[in-house]
Structure 1
Amino acid sequence: MMRYAAYYAPKPDSGLWRAGCEWLGMDAVRGGRVAQAAVEGVAAETLAALTREAARYGWHATLKAPFVLKPAVGEDDLLHQTMALARTFQPFALSLQVGWLGDFLALRPAGPSAELDELAAACAVSLEGLADRRAPLKPRDGLDPRQQALYRRWGYPYVFEQFRFHLTLSDRLVRGSEAAVLIERGARRHFAGLLDQVSVAGVALFVERDEGGPFRCLAYCGFDGEATRHGR
């Protein structure tokens, strides 16, 4: 069953998009593997293994987590709703930094952003009416009572005051391990010069057409009202 998600993703012609795709070895717009960046001290096959799940989801930060559309709702309905939502926002900028979120590496905001929190909340609420929530949720461990309640209501525990913006750089790592240290160092080098004044100017729709398969960028809905369709 297909799933859709609303993500932040850099524009496909930007340096941050290219750098992220090279880091993961996957381009979700063009729909295929790309040559993965080299990290000093880490074998290519090791880096591929430690970014495999992140690569499957594509270079992104979650605004509304993957969900199934209601039977009567189609892709065009989702696109039009997302375009309408995007038009209500103005572009803004973020400063990002390489850091840890739990036991995986990510690009995180260098400071709080009210605009970002508002965008994520709007995506969670505005698109929820299109989501089919009839299927039971898979159990998730490690959530506190508030996160469990949000997960039951919204299908994702990290919304509203629990929202944690991040562009994932790795699968789970043991912090402090040799691999973790080398990959963190490599990420800082790889993204150097790209993380100040990062533009947020739209919402990207991604789709997982086959369960467990790669996510692809379906469309980029700009805050200017323009939408660019990508893979179908």
Structure 2
Amino acid sequence: MTRRYAIYFAPPPESALAELGAELLGRDPETGEPRPQPRFDGIGLDRFHAITADPRHYGFHATLKAPFALAEDVSGDALHAAAEAFAAGRAPATGPALTLASIGGFLALVPSADAPEVHALADACVEAFDQFRAPLTAAELERRRQSPLTPAQDRHLERWGYPYVFDEFRFHMTLTARLTDTAEHEQVRAALAERTVPVCIDPLRIDAIAVYEQDDRQSPFRITGRYPLTGMSA
């Protein structure tokens, strides 16, 4: 059994964005409790449950440091302590309001314009927490390479354990699996747009980082620590 950790952005508990994510995905990553999912005209409840299975497993979030197993001689307590220290020295990051978008067929909430502060926070997390990451195994590398990667993404994968970092990073909060049927994609997109627009009005503000944890790859991720960003702006 390999426990894995991740550093994510999680909306503040009970905020409109957190409630939206828990409702749409059908699980609250803060408590681990299931949530009843909404019904949408023309989309069966079982089908909507199926297309949200992958993001539900990870919990509503935006990736700052992708999931990793701990390096040898490193403890989860040490990672939490490092996350707390990192957050204490880092100012909150702000960006434009979120909007619903399609990324390679996945529907996700993304910034509606460039978000350099958010990008800088993600870059800093990738570097700061890499010391806690165990190297990817050959099997993990092979599994990642089953999805087409550019040469730059493959170099990131080998160096940082994840291909979509630094110049390849895009802040996103995934809501569905990849939808390959065009009609279904547009139907789900329209339904989610109606539900997400009222919540995605205010500018994005990241004022904490969260440690997510899973017991093994089959277990869902849960939030096991949330650390406020209380540092001063440069």
1:100 positional shift? 0.6
Q: 2: distance between equivalents of 1:175 and 1:220? A: 38
Partner SS for 1:33: coil
1:134 positional shift? 5.8
1:192 positional shift? 2.1
Contact 1:12–1:29 at 8 Å: present in 2 too? yes
Q: 2: distance between equivalents of 1:66 and 1:146? A: 20
1:173 positional shift? 0.3
1:90 aligns with: 91
Q: 1: distance between equivalents of 2:205 and 2:16? A: 11
Within a 5 Å distance, the mapping from 1:216-231 to structure 2 comes to 216-224=222-230
Q: 2: distance between equivalents of 1:47 and 1:188? A: 15
Within a 5 Å distance, the mapping from 1:204-223 to structure 2 comes to 204-223=210-229
1:40 positional shift? 2.1
Q: Name the count of aligned residue pairs.
A: 224
1:128 aligns with: 130
1:175 positional shift? 5.6
Partner SS for 2:153: helix
1:228 aligns with: none
Instruction: Tell me whether 1:203 sits opposite 2:214 in the alignment.
Output: no
2:48 aligns with: 47
Match of 2:172 among 160, 163, 166: 166
1:114 aligns with: 116
Partner SS for 2:199: coil
TM-score, normalisation: structure 2 = 0.91
1:12 positional shift? 1.2
Which one-letter code corresponds to 1:181 in the other structure?
Answer: E
Can you list the C-alpha shifts for 1:90-139, whole angstroms capped at 9, x where unaligned?
22333110001111110011111111111001110000011111633332
Partner SS for 1:12: coil
Partner SS for 2:135: coil
Within a 5 Å distance, the mapping from 1:154-193 to structure 2 comes to 154-174=160-180, 176-177=182-183, 179-193=184-198
Contact 2:136–2:161 at 8 Å: present in 1 too? no
Partner SS for 2:110: strand
Instruction: Tell me whether 1:16 sits opposite 2:21 in the alignment.
Output: no
TM-score, normalisation: structure 1 = 0.92
Contact 1:106–1:166 at 8 Å: present in 2 too? yes
Q: 2: distance between equivalents of 1:186 and 1:83? A: 38
Partner SS for 2:56: helix
Q: Percent identity?
A: 33
Partner SS for 2:162: coil
Q: 1: distance between equivalents of 2:70 and 2:47? A: 36
2:69 aligns with: 68
Which one-letter code corresponds to 2:104 in the other structure?
Answer: G
Can you list the C-alpha shifts for 1:64-83, whole angstroms capped at 9, x where unaligned?
10001123111211111111
Q: 1: distance between equivalents of 2:181 and 2:210? A: 31
Task: Flag the 1:167–1:134 CA change in 2: closer, same or farther, 3 A.
Answer: closer
Which one-letter code corresponds to 2:141 in the other structure?
Answer: K
Q: 2: distance between equivalents of 1:220 and 1:7? A: 10
Q: 2: distance between equivalents of 1:92 and 1:211? A: 30
